[in-house]
Structure 1
């Protein structure tokens, strides 16, 4: 399906969902819902493609399937203690004493991530969850620097605090980032006055 047709379909679906729920939202929230639908369709297409290749890494057909890959471990996994994102944020904030602005912004990012994975158990997060979230941000048109510095960094830092304080066995966000191309000339400094005089 051409991208323009796909965009129109997602917008129509968003309108239909809002109408069924009896909700009235502004244009920005309407677009957010359309993007969320597009991301869900993309993930579903990738899942179906894996199934077509015989790669069944999730529940059997007919069973409920999580929207995000890397769902909580199965019953065969070793027993683990759950810890909420909120507990980690509070522990990190108590220890590091961040500014009020940083605490608010990082807390919001963590809540957005929790909403994406569909639960608040930080111990159940997998690297696949983090990668799926990163890909979703890319699909939404976020800039690489914003994804790295304002999205992945807070999640990685909070989860690492959990590891350092024996609340988590490992950091699923460790090493996950997005490469950002530098613009031409970026990082090249100009001559100092002394260097310019020497050259002249």
Structure 2
């Protein structure tokens, strides 16, 4: 596995950044190594890798690489934060019908009585009970904000060609079933300049 990761890490470092922007607007980290993830998907989907489980249960983290869009409604006190392009588009993050979310951390320096509305896709999040002063404070650091999602690879889906963070679906490359495997996905909004986490959300499967 180390040799394979080195190969993809080498490919990343010998490929121009322009090519990275052409294929991926987000930054992908496999086991903490930055990679061109579309190359890994292409390799794993090849028919010669039919029985390959090399990437199963490996940690994958994705961070948005463009300025987030903030839209505030002062009447409803709702703030929508979203990416201009679909975030983490090479991953099927969760199956909406089998997933719950809970707040794990909310930074009180930015949010006082925050409520997070149900998340249907991770490219957009709606926050309720946001005062005008809170919005102005967040808007000042808009250029430093990023989305980040992290989880374990549980297979390669057949029709979309995406890797999956969830266990359900029609898989082209299946991972072995492990009874004590954890469905462990975190989503963050963070300040990439100060390393502050503004919001951290934990997704879990419904029992």
Which protein has the larger Cα radius of gyration, Structure 1 or Structure 2? 1
Range class of TM-score, shorter chain: under 0.3
User: Which structure carries more relative contact order (alpha carbon 8 Å, separation 6+)?
Assistant: 2
Q: Which structure's residues are more often helix, by fraction?
A: 1
Q: Normalising by structure 1, what TM-score?
A: 0.26
Q: Normalising by structure 2, what TM-score?
A: 0.25
Q: Which structure's residues are more often strand, by fraction?
A: 2
